[in-house]
Chain A
Amino acid sequence: MSSAVTLHEAGTHHAGHDVHHDHHHQSFISKYVFSMDHKTIAKQFLVTGIIWAIIGGLFSVIFRLQLGYPEATFPFLEDFLGHWAKGGKLQPEFYYALVTMHGTVLVFFVLTAGLSGTFANFLIPLQIGARDMASPLLNMLSYWFFFIASVIMMSSLFVQTGPASGGWTIYPPLSALGDASIGSKIGMDLWLVSMAMFIVSSLLGGLNYITTILNMRTKGMSMTRMPLTIWALFFTAVLGVLSFPVLLSGAILLLFDRNLGTSFFLSDIVVAGKILPNEGGSAILFQHLFWFLGHPEVYIILLPAMGMASEILSVNSRKPIFGYMAMVASLFAITILAFLVWAHHMFVTGMNPFLGSIFVLLTLLIAVPSAIKVFNWLTTLWRGNIRFTPGMMFAIGFVSLFISGGLTGIFLGNSALDIHLHDTYFVIAHFHIVMGVASFFGMFAGIYHWYPKMFGTYMNNTLSYIHFWVTIIGAYLIFWPMHYEGLAGMPRRYYDYSNWESFKMFGGLNEFISVVAMIVFAAQLLFVINFFYSIWKGRKVTTLNPWNANTLEWTTPIRPGHGNWPGEIPEVHRWAYDYSKDGKDFIPQDVPVGADESKH
């Protein structure tokens, strides 16, 4: 087994330091459960993320049943959900719980932990030429804190009063008062505790990613030779490390309000005819603290997808990425702007219009780096020798979705328009396309592209293409019509739209969306089957570098052991994008620069 190739060399070359020694006789537990190998930790994040994605997707299918068929009853739901679907009809309280948990699970557990947890862990050491993360122990703890967060969040689904149901943004007073709604009871406490664990996990991960990238690069791997995936994961980690603590401070204040009788976010509230003693708090304050994380969180989700798409587009166009430095600069600009635009989520909170217009300006500025990125992706594709591998299909799909969803962002960034569109289906359509589905496409692109490196086998191509086409067509069919519903004023998070005369005309459309949502969900199951089946039964990888790519991960053995390279770590002599150069199809990063070679 190739994992028997270990770090003896590392030990001899760096005898002065304490280095891992022997991994010949690892037990199952230390190899697959409490592993400190970044590749195994990445797979743990990925599999946990996939499980959460199935659960979170299933939530949306269930509440889409209610939205598509508000009059119908589904007896099988009662077997499955018990008193939450009495008589086969989803209860309104549980509908809110499902909407809340769908958002929480997908935003945090799938597209944060599942996406950057997987690919930062997997790709950073492999692509920068390091044997492991700066601190493998913190890395392992990062996964296990995520696991604890997962278990707590999962357990909240099974408590008597149900999980948190005040929306994934957990605005007070609904989230601060146990009596405010049925979902504000123990479910909300479990949500907060779970998120605290989650924040610890992502901070431990982020610290490690930043340190590893800045400190552990192999010889010759200067910052400007790093693949764009690494740049994107670096900025993602910076965003996480600086914004999650602010959410933590908001969550701590919320815990005090819930359990210790303080009034940070509460003032002059009447519940069931009784005036509460809380005075002097401000619910808007929570929104500021929340969105100071919440907006960077959008980019925490999006940047890894951008980085992976850049890499995959370049590899499969057989062309250098267009405008490498512009790509890095635009990632940097997005990272800075991400911290300066949070109040555009709060245009209708009665903020000073002058302040609002500053946030409009800063928000619209994000269009500039975003447009640079799109331009560079398209020019990378332009006249390329394109290979339509499944990974490439999803990377192109990502660009398509990013454009479609990004354009509606310009609408919403204008406070004058946002006041009309706020909290409608237009917002749902916008962020699902640009952040939800687009990032999922980045994640799928990454999985299909690096699957051979992760597991040493290929996924089935036919199933992959079916997965792609159903998902991209389905995603547009689901979310495109929602723009029209939103423009007509249809609000988010309502249980039954057939009660309103003005929204009755959307009955048929809602049913259509629900049917497509179920089909798309089924296609994701196809992906899951393909994923797990191929680990054991997939076609074996027989060449070191199946995609003819330049980056360092393809210089490792087909199934690299702990330590990644059996011998010395390769030295880097060039950037990652020497494709179609001087008559050569590709020149890997560890090939020395020839005397007569042209400079890029």
Chain B
Amino acid sequence: MNVVALEKRNKIHPHKFTLWVGIGSILMMFAGLTSAYIVKRNQANWVSFDLPLAFWYSTAVIIASSVTMWLALKAFRGRLMSRYRGMMLATLVLGIVFIFLQVMGFKQLWDNGITLQANVSYSFLYVIVGIHAAHVIGGVITLIVMALKALNVKMRNYSSVPVELISTYWHFVDILWLYLLIFLLMIR
């Protein structure tokens, strides 16, 4: 896959632009879900809930992973390849830990009687957090591919575009999680 006839005058690489439009699209889905949540909250039968402790740990983890992602990109641009490899692996591990903590959080909720079917507010919590986690899993899969490429020392990577793409996406799912966390804390 490639870009035919890419001209110098373009300020932004088409793939990066595509990603930004895609991010806009993903945001619209969460806008749909969170506005449905707000509408529903103002109706009868709404039960408020407390977020499990695991979600706080996972927040710290995903912020840390954003930092390592940023360092990885910086290392790649500076051609510090061994550092880049290390940071990519760190990001990958933190991403997996994030998913694990989200699952732990769901388990805590479930054990406290906050199950998927018990109330609409709980159902919303599961769906919104779950769909976000699905987007993180998508990022983790991409990171695995990137990390495998990075570990292959024989393969030489010079284009920073793929690294920039995954780093933009990764920061996006991080910020999206912070937004969702604040949203779920403020409105419940």
A and B associate in one complex = yes
Interface centre among B7, B10, B43 (most CB of A within 10 A): B7
Closest chain A residue, CB of each to CB of B120: A280
In the complex, per-residue mask of B6-34: 1 if CB is within 8 Å of any chain A CB, else 0: 11011010110110011011101111110
Across-interface contacts of B123 in A (CB, < 8 A) = 256, 262-264
Across-interface contacts of B7 in A (CB, < 8 A) = 14, 219
Instruction: Give Cα A132 to B3, complex, Å.
Output: 8
Closest chain A residue, CB of each to CB of B20: A211
Across-interface contacts of A569 in B (CB, < 8 A) = 5
B1 at the interface (CB under 8 A from A): yes
> Do A250 and B32 touch across chains, with their CB atoms under 8 A apart?
yes
Across-interface contacts of B14 in A (CB, < 8 A) = 134-135, 211-212, 215-216
> Do B28 and A243 touch across chains, with their CB atoms under 8 A apart?
yes
> Do B36 and A289 touch across chains, with their CB atoms under 8 A apart?
yes
B116 at the interface (CB under 8 A from A): yes
A496 at the interface (CB under 8 A from B): no
Across-interface contacts of B25 in A (CB, < 8 A) = 203, 206-207, 241-242, 244-245
In the complex, per-residue mask of B93-109: 1 if CB is within 8 Å of any chain A CB, else 0: 00000000000000000
Instruction: Give Cα A212 to B17, complex, Å.
Output: 9
Number of interface residues of B (CB under 8 A): 40
Closest chain A residue, CB of each to CB of B1: A137
Across-interface contacts of A289 in B (CB, < 8 A) = 32, 36
Across-interface contacts of A246 in B (CB, < 8 A) = 28-29, 31-32
Number of A-B contacts (CB under 8 A): 140
> Do B32 and A17 touch across chains, with their CB atoms under 8 A apart?
no
Also in contact, A280 and B119, with CB within 8 A (given A132-B4, A216-B14, A245-B28): yes
B2 at the interface (CB under 8 A from A): yes
Instruction: Give Cα A210 to B23, complex, Å.
Output: 13
Across-interface contacts of A250 in B (CB, < 8 A) = 32, 36
A166 at the interface (CB under 8 A from B): no
Instruction: Give Cα A17 to B15, complex, Å.
Output: 14
Across-interface contacts of A36 in B (CB, < 8 A) = 1
Also in contact, A208 and B18, with CB within 8 A (given A14-B6, A263-B120): yes
Q: Is the interface of B mostly helix, strand, loop or mixed?
A: helix
Q: Which residue of the partner chain, among B21, B30, B39, B117, contacts A288 with CB atoms under 8 Å?
A: B39
Also in contact, A253 and B127, with CB within 8 A (given A14-B6, A207-B22, A288-B36): yes
In the complex, per-residue mask of A278-312: 1 if CB is within 8 Å of any chain B CB, else 0: 01111001001100100000000000000000000
Across-interface contacts of B30 in A (CB, < 8 A) = 249
Q: Which residue of the partner chain, among B5, B46, B131, contacts A14 with CB atoms under 8 Å?
A: B5
B45 at the interface (CB under 8 A from A): yes
Also in contact, A207 and B18, with CB within 8 A (given A20-B2, A20-B4): yes
Across-interface contacts of B1 in A (CB, < 8 A) = 36, 135-137
A329 at the interface (CB under 8 A from B): no
Instruction: Give Cα A169 to B44, complex, Å.
Output: 26
Q: Which residue of the partner chain, among A20, A206, A245, contacts B29 with CB atoms under 8 Å?
A: A245
Q: How far is the CB of B86 from chain A (nearest CB, A)?
A: 28
A131 at the interface (CB under 8 A from B): yes
Instruction: Give Cα A36 to B1, complex, Å.
Output: 9
Also in contact, A249 and B32, with CB within 8 A (given A138-B18, A263-B123): yes
Across-interface contacts of B32 in A (CB, < 8 A) = 245-246, 248-250, 289, 292
Instruction: Give Cα A134 to B16, complex, Å.
Output: 11
Closest chain A residue, CB of each to CB of B15: A135
Across-interface contacts of A174 in B (CB, < 8 A) = none
Q: How far is the CB of A67 from chain B (nearest CB, A)?
A: 36
Q: Which residue of the partner chain, among A137, A249, A285, contacts B40 with CB atoms under 8 Å?
A: A285
In the complex, per-residue mask of A167-210: 1 if CB is within 8 Å of any chain B CB, else 0: 00000000000000000000000000000000000010011101
A159 at the interface (CB under 8 A from B): no
Instruction: Give Cα A208 to B19, complex, Å.
Output: 10
A368 at the interface (CB under 8 A from B): no
Closest chain A residue, CB of each to CB of B34: A249
| Interface of A toward B, CB cutoff 8 Å | 7, 10, 13-14, 17-20, 36, 130-132, 134-138, 203, 206-208, 210-212, 214-216, 219, 241-246, 248-250, 252-253, 256, 260-264, 267, 279-282, 285, 288-289, 292, 563, 569
| Interface of B toward A, CB cutoff 8 Å | 1-7, 9-10, 12, 14-15, 17-18, 21-22, 24-26, 28-33, 36, 39-40, 43-46, 116-117, 119-120, 123-124, 127, 131
* Minimum-distance CB pairs A-B, first 9: A280-B45, A245-B29, A246-B32, A134-B14, A137-B1, A249-B32, A131-B4, A262-B123, A245-B28
A-B residue pairs in contact (CB < 8 Å), sample of 16: A10-B5, A14-B7, A130-B4, A130-B5, A203-B25, A214-B17, A248-B29, A256-B116, A256-B123, A260-B117, A262-B120, A262-B123, A280-B45, A285-B36, A289-B32, A289-B36
> Given contacts A131-B4, A135-B18, A262-B116, could you give 16 more A-B pairs where the C-beta distance is less than 8 Å?
A10-B4, A132-B4, A135-B15, A203-B25, A211-B14, A215-B14, A216-B5, A216-B6, A241-B24, A246-B29, A248-B32, A250-B36, A267-B45, A285-B40, A288-B36, A288-B39
